[in-house]
Amino acid sequence: MLRQALTSLILVLVASHALAREASGPFRPEVFFAGRTHSTGVLRNVVNGSVTPFTGDTLGRRQPDGSTVFDQTIRFADGSVRQRQWVVAAGDPGKIAVVGTDIVGVGTGDVRGRELHLLSTIRGDTADPFGLTDLDFDQVLTIQPGGRSVYNRSTVRKLGVIVAKAQETFLRAASRDGRMR
């Protein structure tokens, strides 16, 4: 019994050390988002003042070419659901490229220390062939101390004018044994 307790304690300490070491270095989105994450957030419409809570579930999978595929489901408080898939690939050191189901062209990311600054244009309605529903997203994702959560601040613009802001916190999902991945 004591041996099992000591073994469990050692495993927890090793995992904690690995997470702390990971969190003290630069933010590596492909590491944080590997596996399952859950998020909660709010979307604030600057135009009409409405606030819409949402939750998200993301599954990240590393690919043989080094890219990471993210399958994401976002559920809004009004009952609407948005499914999206993103593919993130590393470029030059500290640079990433992002393509996805609702991204117009290629989004770009710049990792600096604990932050990822991501710029992309999202097609609001994927059936819109003319880009009339396109929105420009400016996101800053910051890994929090301990490496178990990421805070995301987003500013959404239409024709250069801020139309919405969002705040979201991602948490790594616990594995079946209760440890954080």
Is residue 38 included in any domain, yes or no? yes
SS3 sequence of 73-110: EEEECCCCEEEEEEEEEECCCCEEEEEECCECCCEEEE
Distance CA 140, CA 110 (A): 10
Q: Are 43 and 164 in contact (CB under 8 A)?
A: yes
Is residue 178 included in any domain, yes or no? no
Distance CA 115, CA 135 (A): 22
CATH number at residue 33: 2.40.128.20
Q: How many distinct structural domains can be found in the chain?
A: 1
With bands split at pLDDT 50, 70 and 90, how would you rate the model's confidence at 175?
low
Comparing 148 with 26, the larger pLDDT belongs to 148
Is residue 127 included in any domain, yes or no? yes
pLDDT at 126: 73
Is residue 179 included in any domain, yes or no? no
Is residue 142 included in any domain, yes or no? yes
Give yes or no for residue 58 having a pLDDT over 90: yes
Is residue 72 included in any domain, yes or no? yes
With bands split at pLDDT 50, 70 and 90, how would you rate the model's confidence at 24?
low
Comparing 6 with 1, the larger pLDDT belongs to 1
The kind and range of the H/E element at 164 are: strand 161-172
Provide the whole-model pTM: 0.79
Which residue range is the domain that position 130 belongs to?
Answer: 2-172
Distance CA 29, CA 90 (A): 10
Q: Are 143 and 32 in contact (CB under 8 A)?
A: yes
pLDDT at 23: 46
**Average confidence score pLDDT of the chain:** 84
Is residue 155 included in any domain, yes or no? yes
Is residue 181 included in any domain, yes or no? no
pLDDT digits over 98-151, tens only?
A: 999 989 999 999 999 999 999 999 988 877 777 788 999 999 999 999 899 999
